[in-house]
């Protein structure tokens, strides 16, 4: 076992998820567990959420088919939506593991049809799909003004079953909600047209984490919850209308202690110069694990309820901290992210240094450090 590890607090995951349920009331929830459940471990996270009985997510979502396969092998039987469109080599997995495809072009439909002929084997009556609508993200999806005819054609094709339609908000986490409200309006106009033309379109979902917090008009039939489950608001400008607690802590231990003399330097590049005699410790964690090199000389850790500054350049496998004359022993617990007594370090503290978002921080902790599940 790597001497550094991530502690995943399942009680906090449960509490966060129940608070999302309370906020969104009677709509369905699609639990987004892509990217190894945002670094929290896809298999254990999904199994835990799936164990919540009547309050469990109605759907799960992943980015790629191989992530959906992991869920199926973990005995997750709920519907699983794959966000990224399938390519030819992935189509067999769609049928083998009963995954829901995202489509928004004729090319996608052809790939799935060809795969149906080859891999359907008469077992699959219809291919379930969700159609992605571009309401302004301008990344993936069929543009909303062209979507009606496309959805009509898919609905009339005997091979396909439209299980849902969805869109993705470009900036729902920002304080100004004018653009996500425009995107919502565009989606509602499309829904109205589909109803008028008596076209079945399944479930509608649009609200990501920012919209779950602040745009109840975008809840529709189902919301997609990702980072909220793991205890982080998507930005500093969203409301705190759901109580959240970070689920992940990053823990390590003191592996060496050294006396540094005045004038000595530390680590690669020699960019820390001791101004006086001091003691330093090293911790077995580095940029290969997710402790970014750009944090060099700017981050802190907590030991016995006290903050200590990180010094020198972060290396691939090791970081150092200045502990002055404090009495700290080998093997002492070091909190990199998380709480220790009354002190706390969160992903937001790193965001402030790195000018990034908590998504990048929590997804950045590599599988080289083990996930330990508790509570």
Structure tokens at 274: 């001791």
The CATH superfamily assigned to 248-374 is: Lyase, Ornithine Decarboxylase; Chain A, domain 1 (2.40.37.10)
- Is the per-residue pLDDT at 1 higher than 70? no
What single DSSP character describes residue 304?
A: T
Q: CA-CA distances (angstroms) from residue 230 to 10, 219, 224?
A: 10, 20, 13
Q: pLDDT for 233-277, tens place per residue?
A: 999 999 999 999 999 999 999 999 999 999 999 999 999 999 999
H or E segment to which residue 347 belongs: helix 347-354
pLDDT of residue 126: 84
Structure tokens at 360: 């990048």
Using 50, 70 and 90 to split pLDDT, how confident is the model at 122?
Answer: low
pLDDT of residue 120: 65
- Taking the C-alpha atoms of residue 126 and residue 120, their distance in angstroms, rounded to an integer, is 9
Using 50, 70 and 90 to split pLDDT, how confident is the model at 358?
Answer: very high
- Is the per-residue pLDDT at 314 higher than 90? yes
Half-sphere exposure of 293 (CA within 13 A, CB side): 9
Using 50, 70 and 90 to split pLDDT, how confident is the model at 366?
Answer: confident
Give the catalytic positions in this structure.
34, 268
Cα–chain-centroid distance for residue 312?
Answer: 31
Are residues 279 and 320 in contact, defined by beta-carbon separation less than 8 angstroms? no
Using 50, 70 and 90 to split pLDDT, how confident is the model at 92?
Answer: confident
**Residues 274-297, buried b or exposed e (16+ Cβ, 10 A)?**
beeebbbbbbbbbbebbbbeebbe
Using 50, 70 and 90 to split pLDDT, how confident is the model at 124?
Answer: low
Using 50, 70 and 90 to split pLDDT, how confident is the model at 121?
Answer: low
Using 50, 70 and 90 to split pLDDT, how confident is the model at 105?
Answer: very high
Total residue count of the chain as it appears in this document: 375
Q: Where are the domains of the chain?
A: 10-230, 248-374
The residue written with tokens 């519907």 in the block is 79
Of residues 35, 120, 36, 29, the one with CA closest to residue 78? 29
Q: What are the beta bridge partners of residue 8?
A: 248, 373
Using 50, 70 and 90 to split pLDDT, how confident is the model at 131?
Answer: very high
- Is the per-residue pLDDT at 117 higher than 90? no
What single DSSP character describes residue 226?
A: S
Residue 96, number of CB atoms within 10 A of its CB: 12
In sign, the C-alpha dihedral spanning 193, 196, 200, 203 is positive
- Is the per-residue pLDDT at 176 higher than 80? yes
What's the mean per-residue pLDDT of the chain? 94
Are residues 151 and 170 in contact, defined by beta-carbon separation less than 8 angstroms? no
- Is the per-residue pLDDT at 125 higher than 70? yes
Using 50, 70 and 90 to split pLDDT, how confident is the model at 114?
Answer: confident
Q: pLDDT for 43-86, tens place per residue?
A: 999 999 999 999 999 999 999 999 999 999 999 999 999 999 98
**Residue ranges of the alpha helices (H) in 143-202?**
147-156, 178-196
pLDDT of residue 169: 95
Residue 118: what are its φ and ψ, rounded to 5°?
-85, -40
- Taking the C-alpha atoms of residue 121 and residue 272, their distance in angstroms, rounded to an integer, is 65
pLDDT of residue 375: 86
CATH number of this structure's domain 10-230:
3.20.20.10
- Is the per-residue pLDDT at 123 higher than 80? no
């Amino acid at each position: 076992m790597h001497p550094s590890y991530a502690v995943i607090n399942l009680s906090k995951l449960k509490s966060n998820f129940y608070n999302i349920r309370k906020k969104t009331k009677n709509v369905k929830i699609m639990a987004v567990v892509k990217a190894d459940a945002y670094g929290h471990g896809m298999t254990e996270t999904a199994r835990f959420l799936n164990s919540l009985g009547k309050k469990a997510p109605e759907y799960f979502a992943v980015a790629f088919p191989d992530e959906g396969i992991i869920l199926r092998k973990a005995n997750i039987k709920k519907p699983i939506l794959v966000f990224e469109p399938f390519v030819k080599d992935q189509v067999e997995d769609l049928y083998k593991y009963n995954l829901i495809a995202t489509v928004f072009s004729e090319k996608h439909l052809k790939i799935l049809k060809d795969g149906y002929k080859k891999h359907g084997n008469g077992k699959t009556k219809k291919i379930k799909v969700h159609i992605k609508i571009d309401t302004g993200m301008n990344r993936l999806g069929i543009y909303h003004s062209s979507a009606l005819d496309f959805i009509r054609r898919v609905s009339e094709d005997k091979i396909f079953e439209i299980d849902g339609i969805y869109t993705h908000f470009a900036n729902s986490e920002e304080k100004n909600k004018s653009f996500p409200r425009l995107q919502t309006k565009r989606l509602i106009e499309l829904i109205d047209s589909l109803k008028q033309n008596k076209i079945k379109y399944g479930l509608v979902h649009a609200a990501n984490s920012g919209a779950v917090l602040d745009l109840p008009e975008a809840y529709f039939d189902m919301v997609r919850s990702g980072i909220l489950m793991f205890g982080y608001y998507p930005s500093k400008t969203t409301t705190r209308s759901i109580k959240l607690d970070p689920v992940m802590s990053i823990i390590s231990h003191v592996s060496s202690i050294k006396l540094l003399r005045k004038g000595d330097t530390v680590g690669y590049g020699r960019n820390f110069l001791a101004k006086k005699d001091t003691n330093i410790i090293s911790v077995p964690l580095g940029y290969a694990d997710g402790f970014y090199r750009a944090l060099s000389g700017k981050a802190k850790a907590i030991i016995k309820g006290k903050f200590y500054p990180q010094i020198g350049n972060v290396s691939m496998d090791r970081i150092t901290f200045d502990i002055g004359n404090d009495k700290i022993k080998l093997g002492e617990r070091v909190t990199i992210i998380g709480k220790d007594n009354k002190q706390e370090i969160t992903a937001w503290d790193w965001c402030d240094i790195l000018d990034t978002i908590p998504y990048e921080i929590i997804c950045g902790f590599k599988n080289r450090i083990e996930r330990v599940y508790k509570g």
